[in-house]
Structure 1
Amino acid sequence: MKNILGKSKVFSAGLVLAMAMAGSASAATVTFGGQIATDGSYKTSNKITADNIITNAQLANGYFVETFDQATAIPAFPPTPNTDFNVPGASSGCAVNSPLAVTPSAPGKVNVRKGSVTNVAAAPAHDTTCYAYTTNNGSGTSYVDIDYTAFLASIGGTVPSLAGSYINYLGFYWGSVDTYNTFEFYSDNVLVKSVSGTDLLADLGGTSGDQVSDKSNVYVNIDFSAGEAFNRFRVVTSGIAGEFDNIVVGLDKRPGQVPAPTGLALLGLGLIGLGFTRRFKK
């Protein structure tokens, strides 16, 4: 499978050592890159199959995907996709196809569609499938929350081996990254991490709003420690739109999962990534 290469972003060795001395388990790391998706969406996580399809038999692997396409809905979850956010005439085959609570800051502030419209939304580069975006049409600030609380509470009924899991991996395809977009991660109402377009573009050398370049249309991977476990994330924009697709989550109780490193073991992770020392805002 062809990989889309990306560079790693981890904490500096000095910061990791200080955290280890303090006994902290905070070790979220961010990397860029994934694989070429075979369903036409261009970039997806290398944690799942390239077709973005997860069958019932694969559920126990502990990875789940929201593609906003009805064709890739997971069979074990509710069979009626949510089309409430579809754009009339531009959303054939689109839907929120997983059991997630999607809540915009106001009506019309989140939409699911195909294709690009000037001054409305731009599909992530080379993505011909459905994608989601939050918008305020260039004024004020708007957001959309994607909440996994009910999903995490119910997953044990579908896959008993995953009962009691928390999310320790999240990946998403971020389209035409802008400086006015931010992804925020919450544990209930407590902000645990944020990833800004400004930081991402600075690290990759991308241009804000570029609809073509791989430096500005990026698959983002975040590995969370237990202390940073989240159950809700928010996409915020203070400009025209924030576009995203192929949201993949991984649960900590999946087979073969190695427990998050703590204590001085974190130092090794810091040394491996020495040179990429910018820390995302907390």
Structure 2
Amino acid sequence: MKNFFSSKKFVSTAALLAIVASSQVSAASISFGGVAAGDDSGLTSEFLADPSHAMNDGANGFFVETFDVATAVDGAGPGDTQYNAAGAAGAGCAVNGTGSGIVITSSTNGFGVRNDDVNNGAAAPANDNTCYGHTPAIGGDLPAWVEIDYSAFLASQGDFGITYLGFYWGSIDEYNTFSFFSGDDLVTEIDGETLTNAANAGNQTDPATNRYVNIDFSFADAFDRVRISTTGIAGEFDNIVIGLASRPVPAPAGLAFLGLGLLGLSFSRKFKK
């Protein structure tokens, strides 16, 4: 960050206000990275290197979804198993947090949770040997989508917003899209077409198409609902981590800049006398 006070020149009040205004404007930013997960599920957020521990309720700033029963909300028992694949493929899998105000909706047969691969149906992200989510469910109609709505969960947390989301995106295809909403307003969107090319799209092992995605939001741009959609088979994802932040106090730095600007004008007038 530049040091606004390194210059010996006076900065006008108008310029200071412009600086303050510009510093408060920020949009969602997207980066890639992640670290090796400690539960044999490939990659997870660097903020939470081991998603095998019990999922928290947001009190420490993060909330985790690994689609494994082991990450059920503390004291709330196992998660929702209604989306599990039939038979052994769904053993130990669950959608967690639904009892905490997280609501899952989907198109008809638009969402499934499993722990294996199905040819022309779904494939776990690279090096992920645990449960993962996918859209559509095996045999589901296309296009397909699943939505995770955090509105009620956020309401229970008080004046908090989701200012970070990370997720492991497996075998990225051009036709997979993650859309983030605040109410009915689209905040930002990321699709597989911007990350892949025809040569490697959909590859189940290529690091270029199995990436941990980090998205940072300002509080003003915080989202409360994410929609994962696809027009082909399939969209796979795991290790969703959301970061919560409280609403920032009106920036005292802005008032300080304004005060310094007015002080500068005062000194300037004295020197002119």
TM-score relative to the length of structure 2: 0.76
State the partner residue of 2:77: 79
**1:150 corresponding residue in structure 2:** 152
CA contact (8 A) 1:35 1:50 kept: no
Displacement over 4 Å in runs of 4+: 18-24, 136-139, 257-260
Aligned residue number for residue 189 of structure 1: 184
SS at match of 1:198: helix
The residue type paired with residue 131 of structure 1 is Y
Q: Give, in whole Å, the separation in 2 of the partners of 1:30 and 1:141.
A: 25
- Structure having greater relative contact order (Cα 8 Å, sep ≥ 6): 1
Structure 1 residue 34 and structure 2 residue 34: aligned?
Answer: yes
SS in 1 for 2:206: coil
Give the match for residue 242 of structure 2: 249
Change (3 A) 1:70 1:27: same
Provide the rounded CA distance (Å) in 2 between the counterparts of 1:206 and 1:190.
34
User: Which residue is 1:3 aligned to?
Assistant: none
Give the aligned partner of residue 143 of structure 2: 141
The match for 2:12 is: none
Query: Do the aligned residues in 2 keep the contact of 1:52 with 1:65 (CA within 8 Å)?
Result: no
Judged with a 3 Å threshold, the aligned counterparts in structure 2 of structure 1 residues 180 and 79 are, in CA distance, closer, same or farther, namely same
Name the counterpart of 1:63.
Answer: 62
* Distance in 2 between residues matched to 1:188 and 1:147, nearest whole Å: 10
SS of equivalent to 1:150: helix
- Residue 11 (structure 2) aligns with: none
Indicate how the Cα distance of structure 1 residues 139 and 30 shifts in structure 2: closer, same or farther if over 3 A, else same.
same
Q: 1:86 Cα deviation (Å)?
A: 0.4
**Pick from 219, 225, 232: which aligns with 1:239?**
232
Structure 2 residues without counterparts, runs of 5 or longer = 1-17, 255-273
Q: What does residue range 1-282 of structure 1 map to in structure 2 within 5 Å?
A: 25-54=25-54, 59-76=58-75, 78-89=76-87, 90-99=89-98, 100-106=102-108, 108-135=109-136, 140-155=142-157, 163-201=158-196, 207-253=200-246
Query: Is there any run of 5+ residues in structure 1 with no aligned partner, and where?
Result: 1-17, 156-162, 264-282
The one-letter code sitting in structure 1 at the alignment partner of 2:230 is T
1:144 alignment partner, SS class:
strand
Secondary structure of the corresponding residue to residue 71 of structure 1: helix
Partner Cα separation in structure 2 for residue 115 and residue 126 of structure 1: 12
**CA distance in 1: counterparts of 2:21 and 2:44, whole angstroms:** 36
Task: Report Cα offsets for 1:83-123 as digits up to 9, x if no partner.
Answer: 000011211100002132110112x1100001111111011
The 3-state SS of whatever aligns with 2:208 is coil
Identity over the aligned pairs, expressed in percent?
Answer: 48
Cα–Cα, structure 1 residues 51 and 231, in superposed 2: closer, same or farther, change >3 Å? closer
Code of the residue aligned with 1:196 in structure 2: it is: D
The one-letter code sitting in structure 2 at the alignment partner of 1:61 is N
Q: CA deviation at 1:199?
A: 0.9
Cα deviation for residue 73 of structure 1 reads: 1.7
Query: What TM-score, normalized by structure 1, do the two folds share?
Result: 0.74
| Cα offset, 1:50, TM superposition | 1.9
* Counterpart contact for 2:55–2:71, Cα < 8 Å: no
Question: How much has 1:23 moved relative to structure 2?
Answer: 7.4
Contact persistence 2:110–2:144 (CA under 8 A): yes
What amino acid does structure 2 have at the position aligned with 1:47?
F
Flag the 1:103–1:138 CA change in 2: closer, same or farther, 3 A: closer
